[in-house]
Amino acid sequence: MRATYSWLLLSIAVILAGCGGGGGGVVLGPSALLQGRVLLVSTGQPPNPPATVSGGGQTTQTNTQDGTFRLRVPLGTPQITVRAPGTREFTFQLPTLQANQTVDLGELYIGAQAIAVQGRVVDATTQQPVGDALITLLGQRARSSPSTGRFTLNNVAYDPEGLLDAEGEIQREGYITRRFAADQPVIDGVMELGDIPLLTITDENPPGQPGNLRGVVQVPGDDPLGTRVDIYTPPNASTPTESTFIQQSTGSFQLWLTPGQYRLRFVKGTRTAERTVTITNPATVIDLGTIVLQ
Protein backbone atom coordinates (compact mmCIF):
# COMPACT_ATOMS: atom_id res chain seq x y z
CA MET A 1 0.00 0.00 0.00
CA ARG A 2 2.84 2.40 0.90
CA ALA A 3 4.60 1.63 -2.40
CA THR A 4 1.40 2.31 -4.37
CA TYR A 5 0.88 5.61 -2.54
CA SER A 6 4.46 6.72 -3.25
CA TRP A 7 4.07 5.82 -6.93
CA LEU A 8 0.86 7.89 -7.07
CA LEU A 9 2.55 10.94 -5.56
CA LEU A 10 5.40 10.65 -8.06
CA SER A 11 2.92 10.41 -10.94
CA ILE A 12 1.11 13.54 -9.76
CA ALA A 13 4.43 15.39 -9.45
CA VAL A 14 5.36 14.42 -13.01
CA ILE A 15 2.01 15.66 -14.34
CA LEU A 16 2.29 18.96 -12.46
CA ALA A 17 5.85 19.49 -13.63
CA GLY A 18 4.70 19.11 -17.22
CA CYS A 19 2.14 21.91 -16.89
CA GLY A 20 2.90 25.57 -17.46
CA GLY A 21 6.56 25.34 -18.33
CA GLY A 22 8.14 21.93 -17.82
CA GLY A 23 6.89 19.90 -20.73
CA GLY A 24 10.26 18.20 -21.28
CA GLY A 25 9.93 16.16 -18.10
CA VAL A 26 10.94 16.42 -14.47
CA VAL A 27 14.10 18.43 -13.74
CA LEU A 28 16.29 16.28 -11.54
CA GLY A 29 18.74 18.06 -9.27
CA PRO A 30 19.26 21.80 -8.75
CA SER A 31 17.26 24.02 -11.09
CA ALA A 32 16.16 27.57 -11.79
CA LEU A 33 12.86 28.98 -13.00
CA LEU A 34 12.91 31.13 -16.13
CA GLN A 35 10.13 33.53 -16.96
CA GLY A 36 9.64 36.13 -19.65
CA ARG A 37 7.51 37.35 -22.51
CA VAL A 38 7.83 36.54 -26.21
CA LEU A 39 6.72 39.18 -28.74
CA LEU A 40 6.78 39.56 -32.51
CA VAL A 41 9.13 42.29 -33.72
CA SER A 42 6.76 43.06 -36.60
CA THR A 43 3.82 44.03 -34.39
CA GLY A 44 5.01 44.10 -30.78
CA GLN A 45 2.24 41.58 -30.01
CA PRO A 46 2.48 38.00 -28.67
CA PRO A 47 2.53 35.23 -31.30
CA ASN A 48 -0.70 33.35 -31.94
CA PRO A 49 -0.35 30.35 -32.50
CA PRO A 50 1.97 30.36 -29.49
CA ALA A 51 5.76 30.22 -29.55
CA THR A 52 7.68 27.18 -28.29
CA VAL A 53 10.38 27.89 -25.69
CA SER A 54 13.04 25.20 -25.09
CA GLY A 55 16.12 24.87 -22.94
CA GLY A 56 17.96 22.29 -20.85
CA GLY A 57 15.80 19.48 -22.19
CA GLN A 58 12.60 21.28 -21.14
CA THR A 59 9.90 22.78 -23.34
CA THR A 60 6.86 24.98 -22.87
CA GLN A 61 4.62 27.28 -24.91
CA THR A 62 3.81 30.94 -24.52
CA ASN A 63 0.47 32.37 -23.48
CA THR A 64 -1.32 33.60 -26.60
CA GLN A 65 -2.87 36.53 -24.71
CA ASP A 66 0.28 38.20 -23.40
CA GLY A 67 3.21 36.06 -24.60
CA THR A 68 4.36 35.07 -21.10
CA PHE A 69 6.04 31.76 -20.26
CA ARG A 70 7.61 29.93 -17.33
CA LEU A 71 10.21 27.22 -17.78
CA ARG A 72 12.19 25.31 -15.12
CA VAL A 73 15.64 24.29 -16.36
CA PRO A 74 18.71 22.56 -14.84
CA LEU A 75 21.60 24.69 -13.62
CA GLY A 76 24.24 25.09 -16.30
CA THR A 77 21.67 25.61 -19.07
CA PRO A 78 23.44 28.16 -21.30
CA GLN A 79 20.59 29.31 -23.53
CA ILE A 80 17.00 28.90 -24.62
CA THR A 81 15.55 28.74 -28.11
CA VAL A 82 12.27 30.32 -29.18
CA ARG A 83 10.29 29.74 -32.34
CA ALA A 84 6.76 30.39 -33.54
CA PRO A 85 4.95 29.58 -36.80
CA GLY A 86 6.16 31.95 -39.51
CA THR A 87 9.37 32.93 -37.68
CA ARG A 88 12.91 31.64 -37.63
CA GLU A 89 14.43 30.07 -34.53
CA PHE A 90 16.01 32.53 -32.11
CA THR A 91 18.58 31.75 -29.42
CA PHE A 92 18.83 33.80 -26.23
CA GLN A 93 21.83 33.48 -23.90
CA LEU A 94 21.15 32.99 -20.19
CA PRO A 95 23.03 34.50 -17.24
CA THR A 96 24.68 32.15 -14.75
CA LEU A 97 21.85 30.36 -12.96
CA GLN A 98 21.65 29.77 -9.21
CA ALA A 99 19.73 26.98 -7.45
CA ASN A 100 16.05 27.82 -6.80
CA GLN A 101 16.49 31.20 -8.51
CA THR A 102 13.73 32.86 -10.53
CA VAL A 103 15.19 34.69 -13.52
CA ASP A 104 13.07 37.24 -15.37
CA LEU A 105 14.35 37.43 -18.96
CA GLY A 106 12.07 40.34 -19.84
CA GLU A 107 10.78 40.74 -23.38
CA LEU A 108 12.25 38.41 -26.02
CA TYR A 109 11.54 39.42 -29.62
CA ILE A 110 11.33 37.03 -32.56
CA GLY A 111 10.52 37.41 -36.25
CA ALA A 112 11.10 36.22 -39.78
CA GLN A 113 14.50 37.93 -40.05
CA ALA A 114 17.56 38.43 -37.84
CA ILE A 115 20.49 40.84 -38.04
CA ALA A 116 23.66 41.71 -36.13
CA VAL A 117 23.81 45.08 -34.34
CA GLN A 118 27.25 46.57 -33.73
CA GLY A 119 28.66 49.66 -32.09
CA ARG A 120 31.25 51.04 -29.69
CA VAL A 121 30.75 52.21 -26.11
CA VAL A 122 32.85 55.25 -25.19
CA ASP A 123 33.28 57.63 -22.27
CA ALA A 124 31.34 60.83 -23.06
CA THR A 125 34.08 63.05 -21.64
CA THR A 126 37.30 61.36 -22.76
CA GLN A 127 35.97 59.52 -25.85
CA GLN A 128 37.97 56.49 -24.65
CA PRO A 129 36.53 52.94 -25.03
CA VAL A 130 34.42 51.62 -22.17
CA GLY A 131 34.84 47.86 -21.75
CA ASP A 132 32.68 45.25 -20.04
CA ALA A 133 29.49 47.27 -20.49
CA LEU A 134 26.31 45.19 -20.72
CA ILE A 135 24.33 45.94 -23.87
CA THR A 136 20.77 44.59 -24.24
CA LEU A 137 18.42 44.90 -27.21
CA LEU A 138 15.14 43.05 -27.95
CA GLY A 139 16.15 40.26 -25.55
CA GLN A 140 19.71 39.79 -26.87
CA ARG A 141 22.70 40.69 -24.71
CA ALA A 142 26.43 41.28 -25.21
CA ARG A 143 29.47 42.78 -23.46
CA SER A 144 31.70 45.49 -24.90
CA SER A 145 35.33 44.59 -25.53
CA PRO A 146 37.67 45.62 -22.67
CA SER A 147 40.23 46.94 -25.17
CA THR A 148 38.13 48.55 -27.90
CA GLY A 149 34.65 49.08 -26.41
CA ARG A 150 33.18 47.39 -29.50
CA PHE A 151 30.20 45.05 -29.18
CA THR A 152 28.13 42.81 -31.43
CA LEU A 153 24.59 41.70 -30.69
CA ASN A 154 23.85 38.64 -32.81
CA ASN A 155 20.52 37.13 -33.80
CA VAL A 156 18.52 40.32 -33.21
CA ALA A 157 14.96 40.09 -34.54
CA TYR A 158 14.33 42.53 -37.40
CA ASP A 159 11.49 43.65 -39.62
CA PRO A 160 12.12 46.66 -41.91
CA GLU A 161 8.35 47.18 -42.24
CA GLY A 162 7.59 46.60 -38.56
CA LEU A 163 5.80 48.96 -36.21
CA LEU A 164 8.32 48.68 -33.40
CA ASP A 165 10.92 51.36 -32.63
CA ALA A 166 13.69 49.14 -31.27
CA GLU A 167 15.33 50.59 -28.17
CA GLY A 168 18.24 49.09 -26.24
CA GLU A 169 20.04 49.78 -22.97
CA ILE A 170 23.66 50.00 -21.83
CA GLN A 171 24.74 49.43 -18.22
CA ARG A 172 28.21 49.81 -16.75
CA GLU A 173 29.30 50.32 -13.15
CA GLY A 174 30.35 53.93 -12.60
CA TYR A 175 28.26 55.21 -15.52
CA ILE A 176 24.71 56.44 -15.92
CA THR A 177 22.53 53.79 -17.57
CA ARG A 178 21.49 55.00 -20.99
CA ARG A 179 19.09 53.92 -23.68
CA PHE A 180 19.72 54.01 -27.42
CA ALA A 181 17.69 53.65 -30.60
CA ALA A 182 18.52 50.88 -33.10
CA ASP A 183 17.30 52.72 -36.18
CA GLN A 184 20.26 52.82 -38.58
CA PRO A 185 20.26 51.25 -42.08
CA VAL A 186 20.99 47.54 -42.35
CA ILE A 187 23.79 46.70 -44.80
CA ASP A 188 24.58 43.05 -45.55
CA GLY A 189 22.72 41.94 -42.44
CA VAL A 190 24.54 44.34 -40.08
CA MET A 191 23.31 47.53 -38.39
CA GLU A 192 26.20 49.80 -37.33
CA LEU A 193 25.38 52.23 -34.51
CA GLY A 194 28.78 53.89 -34.24
CA ASP A 195 29.95 55.38 -30.94
CA ILE A 196 27.53 55.44 -28.02
CA PRO A 197 28.77 57.73 -25.20
CA LEU A 198 28.20 57.06 -21.50
CA LEU A 199 28.22 59.72 -18.79
CA THR A 200 30.15 58.95 -15.61
CA ILE A 201 28.50 59.19 -12.20
CA THR A 202 30.47 61.86 -10.31
CA ASP A 203 29.80 64.63 -7.84
CA GLU A 204 29.89 67.14 -10.72
CA ASN A 205 27.62 65.06 -12.96
CA PRO A 206 24.47 64.03 -11.09
CA PRO A 207 22.37 61.10 -12.33
CA GLY A 208 20.42 61.28 -15.58
CA GLN A 209 17.29 62.58 -13.88
CA PRO A 210 16.18 65.29 -13.71
CA GLY A 211 18.81 66.21 -16.32
CA ASN A 212 20.06 69.57 -17.55
CA LEU A 213 17.78 69.96 -20.60
CA ARG A 214 14.02 69.75 -20.44
CA GLY A 215 10.86 70.66 -22.31
CA VAL A 216 7.41 69.51 -23.38
CA VAL A 217 6.52 68.01 -26.77
CA GLN A 218 3.07 68.50 -28.27
CA VAL A 219 1.72 66.63 -31.31
CA PRO A 220 -1.61 68.25 -32.34
CA GLY A 221 -4.31 65.59 -32.54
CA ASP A 222 -1.96 62.85 -31.37
CA ASP A 223 -0.31 61.49 -28.22
CA PRO A 224 3.32 62.68 -27.82
CA LEU A 225 4.22 59.37 -26.13
CA GLY A 226 6.79 57.57 -28.27
CA THR A 227 8.13 60.68 -30.01
CA ARG A 228 11.75 60.04 -30.97
CA VAL A 229 14.38 62.61 -30.05
CA ASP A 230 17.49 62.48 -32.26
CA ILE A 231 20.52 64.29 -30.85
CA TYR A 232 23.15 65.60 -33.30
CA THR A 233 26.56 66.93 -32.30
CA PRO A 234 27.94 68.98 -33.86
CA PRO A 235 24.63 70.45 -35.04
CA ASN A 236 25.47 69.92 -38.73
CA ALA A 237 26.15 66.19 -38.27
CA SER A 238 24.29 64.01 -40.78
CA THR A 239 23.54 61.19 -38.33
CA PRO A 240 22.51 61.43 -34.67
CA THR A 241 25.02 60.56 -31.98
CA GLU A 242 22.18 59.16 -29.89
CA SER A 243 18.40 58.90 -29.79
CA THR A 244 15.82 58.57 -27.06
CA PHE A 245 12.03 58.47 -26.82
CA ILE A 246 9.40 60.52 -25.00
CA GLN A 247 8.13 58.23 -22.25
CA GLN A 248 5.55 60.52 -20.62
CA SER A 249 2.00 60.91 -21.93
CA THR A 250 2.27 64.60 -21.03
CA GLY A 251 5.11 64.94 -23.56
CA SER A 252 7.60 66.15 -20.94
CA PHE A 253 11.23 65.10 -21.30
CA GLN A 254 14.54 65.55 -19.48
CA LEU A 255 17.96 64.86 -20.99
CA TRP A 256 21.53 64.89 -19.76
CA LEU A 257 24.01 66.48 -22.18
CA THR A 258 27.68 67.21 -21.68
CA PRO A 259 29.05 70.67 -22.62
CA GLY A 260 28.87 71.26 -26.37
CA GLN A 261 26.61 72.34 -29.24
CA TYR A 262 23.64 70.19 -30.23
CA ARG A 263 20.75 69.96 -32.67
CA LEU A 264 17.67 68.11 -31.43
CA ARG A 265 15.19 66.68 -33.92
CA PHE A 266 11.80 65.51 -32.62
CA VAL A 267 9.99 62.94 -34.79
CA LYS A 268 6.54 61.35 -34.52
CA GLY A 269 5.36 59.77 -37.77
CA THR A 270 5.69 62.46 -40.47
CA ARG A 271 5.68 65.34 -37.98
CA THR A 272 8.95 66.93 -36.89
CA ALA A 273 10.46 69.87 -35.04
CA GLU A 274 14.04 70.97 -34.42
CA ARG A 275 15.88 72.95 -31.76
CA THR A 276 19.54 73.91 -31.30
CA VAL A 277 21.12 74.30 -27.90
CA THR A 278 24.53 75.03 -26.42
CA ILE A 279 25.52 73.48 -23.09
CA THR A 280 28.28 75.38 -21.30
CA ASN A 281 27.76 74.27 -17.70
CA PRO A 282 26.44 70.72 -17.08
CA ALA A 283 24.90 71.88 -13.78
CA THR A 284 22.78 74.60 -15.44
CA VAL A 285 19.25 73.54 -16.43
CA ILE A 286 17.98 74.75 -19.83
CA ASP A 287 14.22 74.74 -20.46
CA LEU A 288 13.21 74.53 -24.13
CA GLY A 289 9.56 75.18 -23.27
CA THR A 290 6.82 73.76 -25.49
CA ILE A 291 7.88 72.15 -28.78
CA VAL A 292 5.02 71.65 -31.25
CA LEU A 293 5.55 69.06 -34.02
CA GLN A 294 4.28 70.17 -37.42
8 A C-beta contact, residue 151 and residue 119: yes
Please report the sign of the dihedral spanned by the C-alpha atoms of residue 15, residue 19, residue 25, residue 26.
negative
* CA-wise closest residue to 255 among 281, 286, 294, 278: 286
pLDDT of 241 over the 90 cut: no
Q: What confidence tens digit (pLDDT) does each residue in 191-232 have?
A: 999 888 887 776 444 444 456 888 999 999 888 888 999 999
pLDDT for 13: 38
State the Cα torsion 191-268-40-85 to the nearest 10°. -90
Does domain 27-109 bear CATH number 3.40.50.11060?
no
pLDDT for 281: 78
pLDDT for 176: 82
Percent of the chain with pLDDT over 70: 87
Q: How far apart (Å, rounded) are the C-alpha atoms in residues 2 and 10?
A: 12
Residue that wins the pLDDT comparison between 285 and 23:
285
Assign 25 a pLDDT band (cuts: 50, 70, 90): low
Q: What is the mean predicted confidence (pLDDT) over 272-279?
A: 93
Q: How far apart (Å, rounded) are the C-alpha atoms in residues 185 and 24?
A: 40
Q: What confidence tens digit (pLDDT) does each residue in 79-115 have?
A: 999 999 999 999 999 999 999 999 999 999 999 999 9
Does domain 213-292 bear CATH number 3.40.50.720?
no
Strand ranges across the sheet with 68-74: 68-74, 31-40, 102-110
Q: What confidence tens digit (pLDDT) does each residue in 114-144 have?
A: 999 999 999 887 889 999 999 999 999 999 9
CATH code assigned to 113-198: 2.60.40.4130
Q: Sketch the domain layout of the chain as residue ranges.
A: 27-109, 113-198, 213-292
- pTM score of the predicted model: 0.65
